[in-house]
Structure 1
Amino acid sequence: MNRTKTIYKNAIYAIIFLLFPRATFAQNREMDSLKQLLSRTSSGTARVDLLVKLGLFEQSFKGGLRYAEDALALAKKIHYRKGEGASFNQIGNQYFAASNYPAALNFYFQGLKIREETDDINGIFGSYNNIANVYFELGDLDRALTYNFKSLQFSQPSNVYGKACLLNNVGTIYEKREQLDSALYYQQRSYELFNQSMSKYQYINTLNALGSLQMKLGNYELAKSYFSLGIKNGVEYNDSLNRASSYLGLAKLFKQLKQEDSCINYAKRAIVFAHRQQSVAQSVIVDAGKLVSELYVGKNDKEAYTYLKLAMDTRDSTFSREKTMQIQNMVFAEQERQKEIQEQKSKEAEERQNNLQYAAIALGLVTLLIGFFVLSHSVIANQKLIKFLGIVSLLIIFEFLNLLLHPYLGELTHHSPVWMLLVMVSVAALLVPLHHKVEYWVTHKLVEKNNRIRLVAAKKTVAKLEGKVS
């Protein structure tokens, strides 16, 4: 079974495959239909869903990624959380198809978090299965199995197709671990569900898996029938990739049966169909090339060399591709690191701006309060209160300047604690004398004002007393 395409089958939009077989002409027709519908849908949740679907059907990595990122941007703008989850999942699909597994895993987990928050059952089902696929490709079979079983817990009774695909994945893991009884159990369940499902897309994976298992168990005729059914399903859905696996399975079967001509015939067919999906079917070409080369040795050495060279060149290409993937993963990791740094800077800048505003508001209130006491013609203010408010205002001004100057001081002093301390002490040295002068002026004005108020009050009292005496 090839798992590279399994990311699409259990996602939230798996229903698409129930309606549109994955034949090339059907995909093109569906893409045209979706693009026309998108041109008539200017905004809203419907546009997000359309962009995600377009990303699903788009064959190129950049094209599919662009649709998914556009969907994510719009979903965030309109606060469509379910759409955000689907968009993150589809971005993960694009990176998975490009074999950038760390990036795929990162986006799958982001999508899963949102889907759990929004209680999107079908979405959670798809996310868990996609995460399992990544771990499978990374060779972590235990985690792959864990996430497949987590996905199974969210399987809805109506999602027969999705469950059939999922059980096929579970069976494949058990076969990889050489637990053939468990593998056969889950592949049989997958086979039964596919026979109940309206769609038979990806049914070929289960048929190929059953063929492989029966061949290992020595049931060659039964294995042959499964591989033949797989080829029939591959023709129906124009599935070159998995059809190549069916042909390779038959080639291996005929090799065990000592039917060399049939083995060579089917191995060559496997190579032909694998070449149509070379970027994801290189292992088929390597295995089939080696198989043909072995059978030609001593009979047709030229052909033996040709097919051995094909296998070796493809293997070298696979190695080169793995190196490219490693570079892509490092680039992605660095991009994510820079993104996190930028987000942290933006967050800090926003917090600093808010703190500056709070400090400015507090300083304004204290200044207004002092001004009220100084300018009021009726309120006698206590000098100790004014001194206290003056100290508070000094502290607020110092904090305000600290917040305002800190980013620039950091760049100027390269965040040296000693230099930053010296600069702030210098600022304080300038502020304190200024504070004393302002405090003296305010106190002087306050005494004058208080004296005037008391004088006016005394005159009024004297006038009242004189009036009573007369």
Structure 2
Amino acid sequence: MRKLIILFCFVASIQVAFAQNKYADSLKTVLANTTNPLEGFNLLTKILENQSFIRGGNIDSAECVRLLQIAQQLKNDSLLAASYNWIGSYFSFTKGDNATALEYYFKALPLAEKANNKRRISSLDFDISLAYYALQNNKAAVQYVRKGGDDLPDKSHPLYDFMLLQYQRGMATWYLSAKQPDSALYFSQAFYETSRRVNSIAQRFNALASIADAYTLSDENELADVYIKKVIAISDSVKMIPIKLKFSNYYIPALLSKGNIPEAMVQAKQLFTLGESNSNNNVKLAAAGFMRRIFDSLHNKDSAYYYSRMEASINAQIFSQNNINKIQSLAFNEQIRLIEEEAKKTEEEQRRKQNIQYALLALGIISFIILFLMLSRRHITNTKLIQFLGVVALLLVFEFLNLLLHPFLESITHHSPVLMLLALVCIAALLVPLHHKLEKWATHKLVEKNKQIRLASAKKTIEELEKK
């Protein structure tokens, strides 16, 4: 029965991979024929997403460079944020250089926030968390996982499941590292269901490995073995380095604990080859550690010492003082930036409220003067004065609405000057006809009032003359 399950998983993975290859080829064909820079950027992004996140392949640095060139050409903050995000992911996932990856992630964050791009902000949060997990700073990692969860786009967004999956993956990783199998299993199973909706073989592989790990933590080894077999059945379809590494970090220790030294040796050598071929220090460090443990268990002191020295050397490269200082500096700079941004927002909000109060006060004074002149029975008022005051009132109303609606307009237009201008023109288009009607009504009332004042004055004069 188990063999049938494995065969079914293998055949299904082959069919999915074939369909995804066909989709990737069609994207490349369209890209080759497009001349529109924005369309080219979107196509490159889809190719990278399909290659890495869906199919589990590695990120192509050349395509990341092309994204950055287009974003710089278009001078678009949202596109620049996406470009830096992909460059950071290349360094983190393919090269294992998490210090450089964090540098690009933190460079992208303010650009994504400026563009109010929640999907990109949450993506950066999750990628930063992965870098911190790789650097064994789990507390910092889970902070960014939770922040990414808070920054998820609306459920109606086409990439909502794509982002939700990353939140579930991050929380599963946190609970696995914290040795809390029940919570880990809950998030791992949710992660698996979302990966099926997204139709990502790479993330399905990742989720199945997390479920197996959770069952192992619960000492439910038979269930863990079932999921390990499912993972192995589709492992050849997944090439993405961090996903391979995550599974190896669980599977090889499990083999060693069962005394299956030959298979552990095979897996460790494959992992080392993967690290060597991609110059990925994270992978080489893990592989060297596993090789050292294997040769220790075989009482082969020379080989164990060789891999021990290699492990220490790679570890020193990854966790050197310069790298640690660089990472701490990046984290500190990001913390300062967030504090300054918060202070700036608070100051702008207070200034906006103050300006609204000034606009209301001025509008109230002008309205009072107009009403006084209209209702006063003692003064004959020139209609041109009312028209002038009406224009001033119109400008004050427009400025008041501009101050009141500005944050809302920024959020829906994503700070686009053209869209902001169109929105303000629409507001003006509604106000001007209303102003004309009010002005006509006020002028009519004023003329009637002036007639009544003149008539009353004439009657009074006649009465005074009759008395004489």
TM-score (norm 1): 0.53
Aligned residue among 89, 95, 99 for 1:93: 89
- Is the contact between residue 81 and residue 114 of structure 1 (CA under 8 Å) also seen in structure 2? yes
Give the alignment of 1:64-463 within 5 angstroms.
64-76=63-75, 80-97=76-93, 98-153=95-150, 154-157=152-155, 159-238=160-239, 242-243=243-244, 246=247, 249-257=250-258, 260=259, 262-278=260-276, 279=280, 280-297=282-299, 301=300, 305-306=302-303, 308-323=305-320, 326=323
Q: Distance in 2 between matches of 1:27 and 1:313?
A: 38
Q: Distance in 2 between matches of 1:190 and 1:232?
A: 19
1:323–1:64: structure 2 CA closer, same or farther, 3 Å change rule? farther
Aligned residue number for residue 48 of structure 1: 41
1:315–1:68: structure 2 CA closer, same or farther, 3 Å change rule? farther
- Is the contact between residue 210 and residue 223 of structure 1 (CA under 8 Å) also seen in structure 2? yes
- Is the contact between residue 286 and residue 315 of structure 1 (CA under 8 Å) also seen in structure 2? no
1:171–1:247: structure 2 CA closer, same or farther, 3 Å change rule? closer
Q: Distance in 2 between matches of 1:50 and 1:324?
A: 40
1:60–1:222: structure 2 CA closer, same or farther, 3 Å change rule? closer
Question: Residues 388-409 of structure 1, C-alpha deviation per residue, up to 9 Å, x if partnerless?
Answer: xxxxxxxxxxxxxxxxxxxxxx
Q: Which amino acid aligns with 1:85?
A: A
- Is the contact between residue 264 and residue 294 of structure 2 (CA under 8 Å) also seen in structure 1? no
SS at match of 1:174: helix
SS at match of 1:71: helix
* Structure (1 or 2) with the larger CA radius of gyration: 1
Shift of residue 242, structure 1, vs aligned partner: 4.0
1:249–1:54: structure 2 CA closer, same or farther, 3 Å change rule? closer
Shift of residue 324, structure 1, vs aligned partner: 10
Shift of residue 27, structure 1, vs aligned partner: 7.7
Q: Distance in 2 between matches of 1:28 and 1:322?
A: 42
Q: Distance in 1 between matches of 2:46 and 2:129?
A: 22
Give percent identity, aligned residues only. Answer: 17
Aligned residue number for residue 6 of structure 1: none
Instruction: Indicate the RMSD between aligned Cα atoms, in angstroms.
Output: 4.1
More contact order relative to length (CA 8 Å, sep ≥ 6):
2
1:317–1:293: structure 2 CA closer, same or farther, 3 Å change rule? same
SS at match of 1:224: helix
1:275–1:318: structure 2 CA closer, same or farther, 3 Å change rule? farther
SS at match of 2:173: helix
- Is the contact between residue 211 and residue 224 of structure 1 (CA under 8 Å) also seen in structure 2? yes
Q: Distance in 2 between matches of 1:255 and 1:94?
A: 32
TM-score (norm 2): 0.53
- Is the contact between residue 272 and residue 283 of structure 2 (CA under 8 Å) also seen in structure 1? yes
Q: Distance in 1 between matches of 2:153 and 2:31?
A: 30
Question: Residues 394-435 of structure 1, C-alpha deviation per residue, up to 9 Å, x if partnerless?
Answer: xxxxxxxxxxxxxxxxxxxxxxxxxxxxxxxxxxxxxxxxxx
Unaligned runs of 5+ in 2: 1-12, 53-57, 334-468
Q: Which amino acid aligns with 2:290?
A: A
- Is the contact between residue 244 and residue 273 of structure 1 (CA under 8 Å) also seen in structure 2? yes
Q: Which amino acid aligns with 2:85?
A: N
Q: Distance in 2 between matches of 1:64 and 1:318?
A: 30
Shift of residue 70, structure 1, vs aligned partner: 0.8
Shift of residue 151, structure 1, vs aligned partner: 1.8
